[in-house]
């Protein structure tokens, strides 16, 4: 029986090191592992982590490895980090150091190398080591709070809400281990952790069917047959109340989406608008949404090229969208040729990307990778379209959401671009649509924030539909 608060335990006194391994499972199937090596001296603490998982597409293995080194002061203050992500041979590197209240970091990928900075709110913690700060300050059942986190893989600031639910024994290698059970939530992504007093995680369970368990090194590294991309697609498929016949020809559809943490999560624009919001008994929301096919006529045509009135971020290059790379710029100029206006240029880019990239369920990571390998899934098509459009001065944003699949008779998570050509218009280079159909449900925007924010919906949202 546990009762009363537990005082802070000394962590990492003097000098030493330790290694922790965890196996990662999706719906009960082993798909990867995590190794964390912690080294400490009176001068600093260094945490080195490796995350590995593997999936398979059409008999091709697609390994993903994330290596990170996080540096902390002896009193657990964030000093800096380095991160190397490798996905099927494609690399992105990020290195950062804290200077006062700012984090200065450098991002490198194929054809991209740029230094950036971000203001850090007071007491911001790196997501990779925030548990150390919680444990060193002491925990008690019922304790709750909000921590400002920096997500190193995304270079984003988020607030993490946590609550210590209880204390509990878990068995590890035949022995009981005393743990704190901690629930955490950020942007709708929830997980429960069982954490020992030495800050090691014994178990983690997410609300998206991922589980991790502390395991000996040899067991953690022993993987099952890789999950296939198609099986992951099937598992994330959102089945509606009824199939949509000839979905690409339906001009207007009304959808009901639930449960949502907030109705404000769903964006509205010229194609989609919220008709009704209802509060569900559990405090979540149901949203009734009307979506139309992109209209054939463009009321805002503008001459091209011209200086844009839109936010400059829609013309920026990034590690995923290398709009300033010579190969991208040369191809963009070639496609644009002497077309009379920006909408015609956007359509030309859409046709080129659709026709020249093989439709394969492999992640080519960036626009330049997609161009050089000439294959990829929806994100690869969207990154390349965005880079080409921005290269010739057309403001472009990446959106993420759901689209209906006739093959699966359900909705799949998908990415596509929108361009500003006197007005915002959506295209789909993966499907070759100049006018996206009414089954494209936009849920998030942004190449960096969008995929992360999409996790608000994956595995949770249900859809009903009927014709308007």
275-321 residue pLDDT tens: 999 999 999 999 999 999 998 877 666 666 666 778 889 999 999 99
Q: pLDDT at residue 204 above 60?
A: yes
Alpha carbons 447 and 196: distance in angstroms, whole number: 37
Alpha carbons 430 and 433: distance in angstroms, whole number: 8
Alpha carbons 435 and 418: distance in angstroms, whole number: 10
Q: pLDDT at residue 63 above 90?
A: no
Q: pLDDT at residue 466 above 90?
A: no
pLDDT one-digit tens code per residue, 406-455: 988 999 999 999 999 988 999 999 999 999 999 999 999 887 777 778 88
CB-based contact 112:317 (threshold 8 Å): yes
* Token pair of 11 as six digits: 């962590």
Region 320-335 average pLDDT: 96
The stretches of 99-222 forming alpha helices (DSSP H) are 130-136, 217-220
Alpha carbons 80 and 117: distance in angstroms, whole number: 13
Alpha carbons 248 and 47: distance in angstroms, whole number: 50
Region 349-370 average pLDDT: 89
CB-based contact 69:80 (threshold 8 Å): no
Most distant CA atoms of the chain, gap in Å: 78
Give helix then strand counts, H and E, for the chain: 8, 26
Q: pLDDT at residue 105 above 80?
A: yes
Region 355-362 average pLDDT: 86
pLDDT of residue 223: 86
Average of per-residue pLDDT values in the chain:
89
* Token pair of 220 as six digits: 């953690």
> How many other CB atoms are found less than 10 A from the CB of residue 215?
20
CB-based contact 96:398 (threshold 8 Å): no
* Token pair of 10 as six digits: 């000394």
Region 98-117 average pLDDT: 94
Task: Single out the residue of 176, 184, 235, 201 nearest to residue 28, CA to CA.
Answer: 235
pLDDT of residue 5: 44
Alpha carbons 465 and 468: distance in angstroms, whole number: 9
CA angle 160–454–349, rounded 5-degree value:
140
Tell me the Ramachandran region of residue 142: left when phi exceeds 0, alpha when psi lies from -120 to 50, beta otherwise: left
Alpha carbons 182 and 163: distance in angstroms, whole number: 6
Alpha carbons 332 and 389: distance in angstroms, whole number: 7
* Eight-class DSSP state of 208: T
Region 98-123 average pLDDT: 93
Q: Is the dihedral of CA 302, 303, 309, 312 positive or negative?
A: positive
* Residue whose token pair is 């999936």: 55
Alpha carbons 22 and 24: distance in angstroms, whole number: 6
**CA distances for 254 relative to 7, 171, 189, 466, angstroms:** 55, 50, 27, 5
Q: pLDDT at residue 43 above 90?
A: yes
* Residue whose token pair is 């998982």: 53
Q: pLDDT at residue 385 above 90?
A: yes
Pairing mode, strands 252-260 and 285-292: antiparallel
* Token pair of 181 as six digits: 């059970």
Residues listed for the chain: 468
User: Lowest-pLDDT range, 87-101, 317-331, 353-367?
Assistant: 353-367
**Cβ-proximal residues to 236 (8 Å cutoff; 6+ apart), any chain:** 412, 413, 458, 459
Burial of 349 per CB tally in 10 Å (0-12, 13-18, 19+): buried
Which H or E run contains 256? strand 252-260
Task: Single out the residue of 24, 48, 26 nearest to residue 36, CA to CA.
Answer: 48
pLDDT of residue 1: 39
pLDDT of residue 393: 93
Pairing mode, strands 358-359 and 285-292: unpaired
Exposure string over 254-274, b if 16+ CB within 10 A, otherwise e? bbbbbebeebebbeeeebbee
Alpha carbons 203 and 212: distance in angstroms, whole number: 6
pLDDT of residue 59: 59
Q: pLDDT at residue 230 above 70?
A: no
pLDDT of residue 8: 44
pLDDT of residue 61: 73
Q: Could you tell me which residue, 272 or 298, shows the higher pLDDT?
A: 272
Region 70-88 average pLDDT: 93
pLDDT of residue 231: 66
CB-based contact 78:125 (threshold 8 Å): yes
* Token pair of 12 as six digits: 């990492």
Alpha carbons 204 and 91: distance in angstroms, whole number: 28
Q: pLDDT at residue 93 above 80?
A: yes
Region 85-93 average pLDDT: 87
* Token pair of 459 as six digits: 């595995």
pLDDT of residue 340: 82
Q: pLDDT at residue 4 above 60?
A: no
């Amino acid at each position: 029986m546990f009762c009363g608060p537990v005082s802070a335990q000394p962590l990492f006194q003097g000098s030493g090191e330790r290694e922790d391994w965890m196996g990662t499972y999706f719906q009960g199937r082993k798909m990867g592992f995590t190794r964390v090596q912690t080294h400490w001296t009176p001068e600093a603490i260094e945490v080195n982590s490796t995350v590995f998982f593997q999936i398979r597409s059409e008999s091709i293995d697609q390994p993903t490895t994330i290596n990170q080194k996080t540096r902390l002061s002896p009193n657990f203050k964030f000093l800096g980090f380095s991160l190397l992500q490798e996905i099927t041979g494609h690399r992105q590197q990020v290195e950062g150091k804290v200077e006062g209240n700012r984090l200065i970091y450098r991002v490198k990928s194929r054809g991209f190398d740029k230094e950036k900075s971000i203001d850090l709110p007071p007491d911001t913690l790196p997501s990779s080591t925030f548990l150390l700060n919680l444990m060193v300050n002491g925990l008690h059942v019922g304790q709750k709070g909000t921590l400002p986190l920096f997500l190193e893989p995304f270079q984003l600031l988020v607030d993490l809400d946590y609550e210590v639910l209880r204390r509990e024994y878990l068995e590890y290698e035949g022995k009981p281990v005393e743990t704190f059970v901690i629930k955490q939530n950020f942007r709708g992504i929830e997980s429960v952790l069982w954490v020992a007093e030495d800050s090691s995680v014994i178990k983690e369970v997410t609300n998206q069917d991922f589980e991790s368990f502390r395991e000996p090194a040899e067991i953690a590294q022993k993987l099952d047959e890789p999950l296939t991309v198609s099986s992951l697609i099937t598992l994330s498929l959102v089945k509606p109340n009824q199939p949509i016949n000839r979905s690409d020809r339906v001009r207007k559809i009304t959808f009901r989406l639930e449960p949502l943490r907030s109705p404000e999560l769903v964006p509205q624009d010229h194609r989609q608008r919220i008709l009704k919001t209802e509060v569900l008994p559990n405090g979540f929301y149901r949203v009734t949404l009307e979506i139309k096919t992109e209209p054939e006529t463009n009321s805002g045509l503008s001459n091209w090229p011209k200086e844009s009135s839109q936010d400059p971020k829609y013309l920026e290059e990034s590690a995923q969208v290398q709009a300033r790379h010579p190969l991208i710029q040369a191809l963009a100029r070639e496609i644009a040729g002497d077309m009379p206006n920006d909408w015609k240029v956007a359509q030309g880019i859409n046709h080129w990307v659709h026709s020249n990239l093989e439709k394969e369920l492999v992640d080519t990571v960036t626009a330049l990778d997609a161009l050089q390998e000439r294959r990829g899934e929806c994100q690869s098509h969207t990154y390349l379209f965005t880079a080409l459009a921005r290269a010739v001065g057309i403001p472009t944003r990446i959106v993420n959401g759901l689209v209906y699949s006739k093959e699966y008779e359900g909705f799949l998570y998908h990415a596509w671009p929108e361009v500003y050509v006197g007005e915002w218009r959506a295209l789909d280079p993966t499907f070759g649509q100049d006018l996206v159909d009414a089954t494209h449900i936009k849920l998030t925007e942004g190449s960096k924030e969008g995929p992360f924010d999409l996790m608000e919906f994956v595995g949770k949202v249900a859809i009903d539909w009927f014709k308007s």
